[in-house]
Amino acid sequence: MLAADSTPAAVETDLLVAPWFEDDRDGVAGLDHATGGEVGRAIASKEFEGKPFDLFLAPLVDGRWRARRVALIGGGKAADFDAALARKVAAAAGAAVRLRRVARAAFLLRCGAGAADDAATGAFAHAVAEGLTLSEFDIGSYKTDAPHTGEATAWTIVIGGGAAAAGGAAAAVARGRVLGECSNLARSLANEPGNALTPREFARRAAEIAGGGGASVEILDERQSGELGMGLLLGVARGSSEPPRMIVFRHEPPGAPAAPILGLVGKGITFDTGGISIKSADGMERMKDDMSGGAAVACAMRAISMLNAPMRVVGVVPATENMPGGRAIKPGDILKSAQGTTVEVINTDAEGRLILGDGLWYARRLGATHLVDVATLTGAVVVALGKTTSGLYGTPERFVAHVRRAAEAAGDRAWPLPLFEDYREQLQSEIADISNTGGRPAGSITAAMFLKEFTGGLPWVHMDIAGTAWAEEAKPYQPKGPTGVAVRTLARLAFDPLDV
């Protein structure tokens, strides 16, 4: 993917893609004439109105234009066209171009109204590069009769504004490309069936992904986890014939200060039946994606190292299956965590918080000063926020706000929910330090309250992606399937000063 300083007419490509706003008169100078009046005709007849993701294709008949065809893609109103929408528009354009098997395409960078300085150009170039890259993901990797879409489209992002502007935007494009590719890697992991992506295989692939980007990787087996006293992880793993793994990543750039150290923890349940508290059969096949948080951490660690983030980062992914085998934990069992806290298991389907408890403790042991965990944790967050927004929980509020800003900038919509101390009462146990569920009321909040017990009082944010890790229906910019949520958020945090 390249960034080029050029005029639209001078770009030599098979297809020139240009965002077009609803209030454009002549959004790209000379384009209507170059299409023999087709652009003007389509707009006058309202065949094309520039609404978000509308698409209109026309041949270029003016020999002075070096592209063969043009595709206008709607960007909505110019005043509303920000980097977040540019990312989606680029993804929609990339998907449409891919379906048409176009070998070479160029995307004309256009910023929204009032966004014309170099910083804005860089932000839009970054977002467009991410969007075009995200459009390359293919959910049908196991289909043997799927139509072949050919080689991936070779994209050029046309910047304009002179060589200096294009040179500055080139770094933003390269960064966006890395983050888009890492998001797609996380989507590929989440799309793998449970029989292919066992905990050991997940650990192997995660090591390959993050290690290939420059992060160091260590994999703890069940014996090493036992020596560390990780009774929560080992307890969940008991019902499976597949042994668990604790995957550890480190990014330690030369010259980085000893602190802060960002600790990323991701839930790695490679398949979740619910255990003895078994789930209903309807939709259980989707539980292959219960390791989406762990995939986000692994792939974010790759991006963090590839992009040379300035701070130290550790990543921890506890990985196991949750199965109802003969040795599986039962409701009423007591487990002891690595930090010594005893947990009464009320519901074996509340297993993600158990393994994250040991994961958070281990990130602290590795020196983390700030913690962010990511997990497909509760159905309750879907009831609260639906399928478009992840839940944020944590302390102190300044750190929650810090993570939320990173998420919004990365295109991962998130919203904070409260952690009032009263909610802790729902987790009281008569025979252990804490129970693993507080019942249905405020279910996502009490799950976060459980995790808080293992943060050691450090600044901490929990990101519940149960509603956002998988798209239930296709949209122009997002096919049905895994979304790669949180990869870009976690990577961005490694570049933002942690002054909380």
Could you tell me what percentage of the chain is helix, strand and coil, using 3-state DSSP and rounding each to the nearest 5? Answer: 35, 20, 45
C-alpha 179: how far from its chain's center? 9
Q: What's the pLDDT score for residue 71?
A: 97
Give me the pLDDT at residue 115, please: 58
| CA gap 276, 336 in Å, rounded | 19
Q: How many Cβ atoms from other residues are within 10 Å of residue 162's Cβ?
A: 9
457: left (phi over 0), alpha (psi -120 to 50) or beta: left
CB within 8 Å of 489: residues ≥ 6 apart: 300, 403, 406, 407, 410, 412, 414, 463
Residue tagged 């960078």 (tokens): 109
Q: What six digits make up the tokens of 255?
A: 């010259």
Rounded CA-CA distance 166/161 in Å is 7
The one catalytic residue in 100, 200, 279, 424 is 279
Alpha carbons 262 and 461: distance in angstroms, whole number: 11
Architecture of domain 2-184: 3-Layer(aba) Sandwich (3.40)
What span, in angstroms and rounded, lies between the C-alpha atoms of 389 and 474? 16
Is residue 353 part of the annotated active site? The answer reads: yes
Q: Is 452 a catalytic residue?
A: no
Q: Estimate to the nearest angstrom the gap between the alpha carbon of 89 and the chain centroid.
A: 18
Q: How far apart are CA 116 and CA 297, in angstroms?
A: 34
Helix (H, G, I), strand (E, B) or coil at 302: helix
**Spans in the chain with pLDDT lower than 70:** 113-116, 146-150, 161-166
Can you name the residues that pair with 77 across neighbouring β-strands? none
pLDDT computed for residue 116 by the predictor: 60
What local confidence, expressed as pLDDT, does residue 195 receive?
97
For 196, list phi and psi in degrees, rounded to 5: -90, -40
The sheet that has 154-158: what strands, in order across it? 2-4, 154-158, 104-108, 15-20, 69-74, 55-59
| pLDDT (tens digit per residue) in 26-76 | 778 899 999 999 999 999 999 999 999 999 999 999 999 999 999 999 999
Give the C-alpha separation, 339 to 361, whole Å.
7
Residues paired with 131 in a beta bridge: none
Distances (CA, A) of 144 to 63, 147, 148, 481: 42, 9, 10, 18
SS3 of 74, please? strand
Domains 2-184 and 194-493 share a fold: no
Select 194-493's CATH number: 3.50.50.60, 3.20.20.70, 1.20.58.1910, 3.40.630.10: 3.40.630.10
Task: For residue 465, give the amino acid letter.
Answer: I
Distance CA 492, CA 380 (A): 27
Locate the domains of the chain by residue range.
2-184, 194-493
Count of alpha carbons within 13 angstroms of residue 262, beta-carbon side? 31
Q: Which pLDDT does position 455 carry in this prediction?
A: 98
- Which of 302, 353, 488, 492 is catalytic? The answer is 353
SS3 9: helix
